Structure 1
């Protein structure tokens, strides 16, 4: 027996042949026809993911962006309406409480946080934001992700138009843009974003309408439902960290190789949680750094496998690892001493008494294919 909650699409998943497993407190689909096939389908066509376990949160009130900036290093107050920013919730010591996406909706902020951490994130926001900021947890909203090079073609057939009445569609969005849309009389939020490295969309939809939308999407010839297994292998190839594995409260943005999330203005102001430590690490380097590894041979190394120095002492560890279907070789993310983080460096990893050689490799392992504006 399991105490896991069910998603609004639980029966829909089972009807499509999903194998369900507990994840982040929910029964979720791990795979349908097989992780390898689903992974490659998403890279070549379009995959439909149910990510309704994620936390969807709104922040309302004057000064919400400035208030949020006290606990994240991103420049939220400069975010224009309809724009999205990846940022990090930070504790007072500069450790990562969670990573999240923030959208300026116009009259409020919309946040998407990780499913396994959303309860703690809500408590953290409540504890650190001033009383004048209202925090709304959108528990009745579901969240779908349509990812892959043919995602825009499939979505275009659903006759989705902007709530603003300007005639725009989700296809007019570029990467890290979002807005409110109407689909068949249902108000939905659509962003051009995702967790696979491919072009794609994330769609916030009322829970009582999500089955109808999922069915309409899955009926498109480019689209197949995809499970958590392929979502994990896709994000690993894309070099994207998974909270609780590759990043956590003991990890700083610099060690996690997420320094890009700290804008120049926020670096200059230095007025966010853990700024002194983080900015010092940015100048002098952190003790360890998250890197990508290509593992020699065919056997993957898994999370927790120690990284060894020349004397056989553990000096780091693997945080994610698996076989990369797109590359047909094993890859991993690991924390290694910063002195060993240069691309091309050979790293020794131990797993079950066996030694493996990993080559430090720039991430992403597979190039991103985000839909960006044309260069001027």
Structure 2
């Protein structure tokens, strides 16, 4: 069983992560993890904070000559910016964890809640998720995500592989739509407001049967949604194309199974009854605009009880592209944890063999042979 614990603050010493239960003898590509961290910071729409940080992952334990040992892995990302940009604040910002955090934990300073609730913590999610994504690829599972829309600009192009932020600044395959999205972001930045959008996350090559129908908390849909909703600004997680199929009748909306085991449609998004069905897992994430606005929003000072406007803290104009990077990492983490639960193994090679044997033994046509 994989256990994960992360800690660290936005402006503290750094971010920490411990991964327990990962099998031995997996070769880690540190440079690839750093590339994912770079993409998270440098997609179009990010703010001034990204210029202050240059994230680099260190794995401080659990490796021997670049390979996992089976011992707990300790991940670390050092913060360069260790000082919050503003002084003490008693005025909670709408859309943040400030208000509820101040009331619940009896804090007089909104910054205390901000330090852990900040999206800065997702850097560690990306590092750990990219580590798992490497492992999944060796198990025949490919995971990626891309920007589908920003504001009112929608892309119809579907990416079949990971996009580079150096080629596609917003991780959108449609070049014309991407240019329009960038223009929208520029306009928003000039006028002091932020933008949201949609991200599509996909997983291909999952063995049939990940997850379960036995209990609600272990359904694959529940596990994935729980992880993706942990991403700041994500307000909706949708499987398949329910935004279209809810208008259809039941016959039209089902993914009928052919005699060869193939399906002509994938309305369910690769998950039926809480389990993967062998089709591509397709998920749409709805991302709200970042709540920090340069112009300020109406709030109340909890100390003076007077109506005030929020002060501006350095922030992003649009994080949709960054959510694409975070989403593929979070999805990778969930899928690998379930693969480990299903197949186990003290060494990575042992796990790999079990996955391959399962694919062969559950291959379409086995049931006809048994007859």
Indicate the TM-score class for this superposition, using the shorter chain for normalisation: under 0.3
Task: Please state which structure has a larger fraction of its residues in helix.
Answer: 2
* Structure of higher CA gyration radius: 2
Task: Please state which structure has a larger fraction of its residues in strand.
Answer: 1
Q: Which has the higher contact order (CA 8 A, sep 6+)?
A: 2
